Chains A and B, each alone.
Chain A
Amino acid sequence: MTDTTVTEEPEDTPDTRPPRAAAESRLRQAVISMAAPLGAFGFSLVASAVVLIAAGSNPIEAGRDMLEHASKLEVQVSMINRATPLYISGVAAAIGFKMNLFNIGVEGQYRMAAIFAAFVGGAVALPSVLHIGLILVTAMVVGGLWGGLAGILYTHRGVNEVIGTIMLNGVALGVIAWLVRRWQAEGSIVAVGVGTEPIDESGILPNLNFIPELFGDLRANEELTGVLVIAIIVGVAYYLLLNRTVFGYDLRASGLNPLAARAGGVPPRKMALAAMCMSGAVGGLVGMAEIFDKARYDPNFVGFLGFNGIAVALLGRNNPAGIAVGALLWAFLDATSDILQVTQTAPKEIIDIMRGVILLTVVIGYEVVRRMRERTEAARTAARLAEATS
């Protein structure tokens, strides 16, 4: 028999330590997990400084210019406006990540959702609440269907979700280009340029200008997007769904160990399909800020929000608060990069370098921290075992 590993029974039953110990353990974990993004951010600052010095610029001056610029109210509003769709996009990607699905197709999902939502919104006249609601629901349904398509290909035809969503991105762009041209040819929208029929006032989500106006005056044409409210709702809903519902538990369990989840009663196909649909539905909301801003879809519709959302989700480690920090950081870099061009203190491209460095160091940092945590936990557990058996 394998009796070399006999452990003696402890004389007392395992103690029931005060709940404080558990709280401490949780706190320690929180501190460790904050260390990674902060450390990575610090490192990327140093790396960017080195690049700037090498390029003959003064990193301190550049940083000062950026911070100074960011202290202006209108820049802060612009930051939040930029962060809002990024946040939604980050959450959309995170839903997939939690299930170990790499939904790279938020890009196509939000564009398809945006053009259909704008089209529907421009085609009807309804009381405001219904009108806005219809636009949002259309966006979520279209996004969800487009994501679900990749999901069905994955669950029923074994098409890898990365390939499926990438291909569907291409298809989405083609469909949109075709639709825009077709509508243009019909002549219905020539008067106002290429795009969908403008949405009536009743279909436009009100802005949140009353918030920045508490702190000072906004320039004309400047708005704080009302989609911010939707983003916050999405974030809270994401948190609740994931951590407080059985469905969220199932989703996370499938992502952590599909075989164990299956034996535990979680149907793998159904979960994968649901995750892709939900990821797509949330992704469908990414373009709403722009739709409500421009009141229609036009060929200049902003791109790359889907891909940037993946970066933001990685930065935030799929955590709803973390994604918010990531989105704000991305938006800060975005909003302040222009000033570098104006003041000529540093090339604008330094921002892209910084982003890349941040992303890489954060991802590496998380992995380092994960391993550290595993080691300390194993050591603590082993220590406790030794304590109990001595």
Chain B
Amino acid sequence: MTLAIELTGITKRFPGVVANDNVNLSVETGEIHAVCGENGAGKSTLMKILFGMQSPDEGTMRIHGEEVRFSSPAEAIDRGIGMVHQHFMLAAQLTVLENVILGAEPVAGLGRIDFKAAEAHLREVGEAYGLDVDPHDLIESLEVGERQRVEIIKVLYRGARILILDEPTAVLVPHEVDELFRNMAELKAAGETILFIDHKLDEVLRIADTITVLRQGRTVATVKPDEVSTGDLAEMMVGSELPTPQTSRSTVTDELALSIKDLTVLDADGRAVLDSVSLDVHRGEVVGLAGVEGNGQNEFVGAIIGTEEVQAGSIRLLGEEIAHSTVRHRRNCGIGYVPQDRQQEGLLLFAPLWENAALGHQSKPPFANGRWFDRFGARERTEAIRGWFDVRTPDIEVTANSLSGGNQQKLIVGREMAAEPRVLIAAHPTRGIDVGAQAAVWDDIRAARAEGMGTLLISADLDELIGLSDTIVVIHKGQLTATLDPASVTPRQLGSYMTGSEDSDAELADGSAFEDADQDPGELQ
């Protein structure tokens, strides 16, 4: 059989990160090939390279045996590659037909769109692949699963022979997933090649012919589904080497720093993205929150910070109820925040460093003197942060934008730590920064922990989670599904809980259950 896709030695670097490091991927024609990996493993970058949205720094791509180099998605489409993005790109007020032909309209005389020909072609495509939609329905009247079908038809309409589906099941409810898988099987029967990203391992095992696992930008393994269990896959995803837990003395006290009870947050459609979550963080304790991205972590953080509306439940900071306080009140009461996306939520890129150092603390000394902003105090504090946290910059008048990613992160961590928070919410505090800066950030958190700071650490880096946390909790589909002891947990167990393939939650609701948890969670399947 010929290979539909053959990627060899693909490397893609971004400032401070290697997203893809010598990745190899071979996809046979007419198969369903799954790409699995933790968030940040480089799956999306790889798909973007394949679809011409980014070009690799090194490596070669072959499509049906021919070497190619795409500089835009248009070239990838010409080669018969189509991509269905996780977030649909459909105009809600147009019909299915109008959406499908958008950008590829058949033109009759005088620049008129030939809707008849378009509809005929659309029906042809739909019948050939068993995809059933009414061309005249408005997109806004369709269910999520149907919209996804429209996206797939859109790609097929343009003659795609290779389909890339980016986490197609993430937005679907179970019966829609079944429907999608039926469609995928039909597409395969019709000779299409499908490459899809997923990290729900049971699904992957159900539908895929071949599975490639990525970890930290590298290909770890390519396996057949009948050779592995979800446990094996989870272990491949998160790595098998157990990082040495830090032997530092526990500083956990029995005083509560942050106490969350039955916290519920709804999304725009009124569904619970955070469902009755309870969690305690003690003074001097680091609680690590593990989970695959999109399982409610962002909403959890937002609810604590005050940017998400709390539907029900309580959040107590050192005994004070803050579930419905303003963000400013919470920050001033001692919540420090390191956001997961520093440029989006952490910095004023085009303001000088000393203004950035004030963000989130602007209404308190040394940045404020009553209602007045204290420019002298702000500059002084910024110089101090620069010294303490080794922010490399010519001076503090430059804009945050001119700093490298690692130094931006050091500035943010420095700003939060300098304010001596009682509780620190740190979301991916070392994502995308070099190891030197990473170690510095860890040291800062440990030092503050020793002085009684409570920390909620959200991270996709298991070394970081296990090495830094006193307790690890796992979030899955908006619920905390397990409490684990970082000293005894194996990455395999953690991976199983994170991907939801472990269903004996009750048994392991408290960390002690893991002490003698020698049985292989993967074999429970």
Interface residues, chain A, CB within 8 Å of chain B? 1-9, 13-14, 16-17, 21-22, 25-26, 29, 243-250, 252-253, 256-257, 259-267, 374, 377-378, 380-385, 388
Contacts and interface: CB of A to CB of B under 8 A. Distances in A.
Contacts of A378: 401-402
A60 to B, nearest CB: 42
A17 B393 CA distance: 11
A260 B327 contact: no
Nearest to B19: A2
Nearest to B349: A257
25 contacts: A2-B18, A2-B217, A5-B17, A5-B434, A13-B387, A21-B394, A21-B395, A244-B372, A245-B371, A246-B368, A249-B358, A249-B373, A252-B348, A260-B346, A263-B307, A264-B360, A265-B326, A265-B360, A374-B399, A374-B401, A377-B398, A377-B399, A378-B402, A381-B398, A381-B407
Contacts of A5: 16-18, 434
Contacts of A260: 339, 344-348, 359
A263 B373 contact: no
Given A248-B373, A259-B345, 14 more contacts: A2-B16, A2-B17, A2-B216, A4-B13, A13-B387, A21-B394, A22-B397, A245-B371, A246-B363, A249-B362, A260-B345, A263-B346, A264-B331, A265-B363
Nearest to A254: B348
Most buried by B among A2, A243, A377, A382: A2
User: Mostly helix, strand, loop or mixed at chain A's interface?
Assistant: helix
Contacts of B26: none
In the A-B complex, the 5 residue pairs with the smallest Cβ-Cβ separation, listed nearest first, are: A265-B328, A264-B360, A377-B402, A256-B348, A264-B359
B429 to A, nearest CB: 15
Given A14-B387, A374-B401, A256 B351 contact: yes
B75 interface: no
A358 B399 CA distance: 28
A374 B399 CA distance: 8
A243 B362 CA distance: 12
Given A14-B386, A259-B344, A260-B344, A245 B436 contact: no
Contact of A14 (B358, B368, B392): B392
Given A250-B362, A264-B359, A25 B397 contact: yes
A259 B355 CA distance: 16
A381 B401 CA distance: 10
Contacts of B355: 249, 252-253
A230 B395 CA distance: 38
A17 B386 CA distance: 12
Contacts of B326: 265, 267
Interface string B203-233: 0000000000000110000000000000000
A17 B362 contact: no
Contacts of B386: 14
B22 to A, nearest CB: 12
B417 to A, nearest CB: 16
B390 interface: yes
A381 B408 CA distance: 12
A1 B216 contact: yes
Contact of B434 (A6, A245, A381): A6
Contact of A2 (B361, B373, B434): B434
A245 B305 CA distance: 24
Contacts of B372: 244-246
Contacts of A247: 371
Nearest to B347: A260
A29 B397 contact: yes
B368 to A, nearest CB: 5
A385 B327 contact: no
A9 B434 CA distance: 11
Nearest to B393: A381
A120 B177 CA distance: 69
Contacts of B363: 246, 265
B375 A1 contact: no
Contacts of B368: 246
B396 interface: yes
B499 to A, nearest CB: 23
B299 to A, nearest CB: 14
Contact of A381 (B348, B367, B404): B404
B383 interface: yes
Contacts of B390: 9, 13-14
Nearest to B356: A260
Given A2-B217, A264-B331, A264-B362, A244 B16 contact: no
Contacts of B437: 7
B68 interface: no
Contacts of B383: 16
Nearest to B17: A2
Contacts of A22: 395-397
B94 interface: no
B322 to A, nearest CB: 13
A382 to B, nearest CB: 8
A264 B332 CA distance: 10
A244 B344 contact: no
Contacts of B404: 381-382, 385
Contact of B359 (A13, A17, A248, A261): A261
A263 B398 contact: no
Given A16-B387, A264-B359, A388 B371 contact: no
Contact of B327 (A9, A263, A388): A263
B337 interface: yes
Contacts of B398: 25, 377, 380-381
B435 A265 contact: no
B442 interface: no
Interface in B36-90: none
B522 to A, nearest CB: 26
B395 A25 contact: yes
B16 A262 contact: no
A381 B305 CA distance: 32
Interface in B304-322: 305, 307
A33 to B, nearest CB: 13
Contacts of B373: 243-246, 248-249
A59 B18 CA distance: 60
Contact of A6 (B395, B401, B435): B435
Contacts of B391: 14
Contacts of A16: 383, 387
Contact of B436 (A8, A246, A253, A382): A8
B133 interface: no
Most buried by B among A5, A9, A383: A5
A382 B403 CA distance: 8
A263 B303 CA distance: 11
A259 B337 CA distance: 13
Contacts of B375: 243-244
